[in-house]
Amino acid sequence: MKVIDILKKNKEPFASFEIVPPLKGSDIYKLYQYIEPLMEFAPPFINITCHRDEVVFYPDGDGVFRKVLINKRPGTVAIAAAILKRFQVEVVPHLICGGASVQKLENDLMDLHFLEIHNVVALRGDPMPGQKYFAPEPDGFKHSYELVSLIRDMNTGHHSDRELSHVCTDFCVGVAGYPEKHFEAPNIETDIINLKAKVDAGADYIITQMFFDNQKFYHFEKKCREAGILVPVIPGLKPLSTIKQSELLPKSFHLDLPEDLMRLLRCCSTPEAVYEAGVEWCVAQSKDLLQHGVPAIHYYTMGKANNVKQVIKNVF
């Protein structure tokens, strides 16, 4: 079932999850063991993140280093197929423009169509590690709305391979929203304009970047509606589990942590207390969002399912 149909069908809000593919060489059964605890809550769908190639330099003799592009995680299509094989749940693979040609994106979409996967999240992706600014492939996309348009074209039988013109895919498309604005946008107003371009290109719904201050989400959603963005907006949350995360997440995801949360963490004398404080904060966030009528809450697990399980048990 498509995510947009799940949102329309469900009368009560629900929880969905996002997982990070394991590193290459990992045992597939470790992935299953990671997902298994989440299935207790019967999630309607699970998102699968996508990571672009990384640059590695290998010595090539005589002091010369050879530049090699390596993808350190299995492909999103492969992970989606593995989850489908084991669990009865809709999968939502992420597709990114970064590092991909239009032909590569079309091929991935056709693979997903072959697997009867009808949900994707279309993203631009981050700059390559070591690069300050995002640079598209010579024959790739610079903006995620271009990827959304490609998917919509394929849904109507428009392919670069004209022999496939009789094939109409059937994808539901999600896109990302940023309650605290995308770090490259000069202001929230410009970021909302960019988001509307993705919706106008054919996006069915929005999932937000993680945030820790619900007021920022409410302000963001209000601006979306004022701009004419009427598709569902699903808030994304993550429970903090370590003090280190309070240092890394603001840098990695360009977000703020409320002073009340930092005060709570500073009062913790043990790692266990920090862990419980993170769960407590996320539970309070979740309950407040549900009281404000959100259709669902999307939880970023980032390789750790136990604290998310605690949150769900206290909320849903």
pLDDT one-digit tens code per residue, 142-171: 999 999 999 999 999 999 888 888 999 999
- The pLDDT confidence band at residue 218, using thresholds 50, 70 and 90, is very high
Mean pLDDT calculated for residue range 197-208: 98
Backbone angles phi, psi at 120, to 5 degrees: -145, 155
96 forms beta bridges with 123
pLDDT at residue 72 is higher than 80: no
Q: Which residue has the tokens 């009281």?
A: 291
The contacts of residue 105 (CB under 8 Å, 6+ apart) are 95, 97, 140, 141, 147, 150
The contacts of residue 204 (CB under 8 Å, 6+ apart) are 2, 3, 4, 172, 173, 174, 231
- The pLDDT confidence band at residue 63, using thresholds 50, 70 and 90, is low
pLDDT at residue 38 is higher than 70: yes
Buried b (16+ CB within 10 A) or exposed e, 184-214: eeeebeebbebbbbbbebbbbbbbbbbbbbb
DSSP 117: -
Higher pLDDT, 131 or 203: 203
For residue 303, what pLDDT is reported?
Answer: 80
Higher pLDDT, 70 or 235: 235
Q: Indicate the Cα dihedral angle 104, 198, 129, 91, nearest 10°.
A: -60
Average per-residue pLDDT for the chain: 93
For residue 150, what pLDDT is reported?
Answer: 98
pLDDT tens, 81-104?
999 999 989 999 999 999 899 999
Contact 72, 24 (CB under 8 A): yes
The continuous run of DSSP H or E covering 156 comes out as none
Contact 231, 199 (CB under 8 A): yes
Residue 67: Cβ within 10 Å count = 9
- The pLDDT confidence band at residue 32, using thresholds 50, 70 and 90, is very high
* Of 258, 92, 71, residue with least CA distance to 249: 258
DSSP 281: H
CA distance 105 to 150: 9
At the topology level, CATH places domain 3-315 in: TIM Barrel (3.20.20)
pLDDT tens, 105-124?
999 999 999 999 999 999 99
The domain segmentation of the chain, as residue ranges, is 3-315
CA distance 54 to 125: 13
Q: Which residue has the tokens 């569902």?
A: 232
The continuous run of DSSP H or E covering 297 comes out as strand 296-300
H-type helices in 115-184, by residue range? 144-155
Percent of the chain with pLDDT over 90: 79
pLDDT at residue 275 is higher than 90: yes
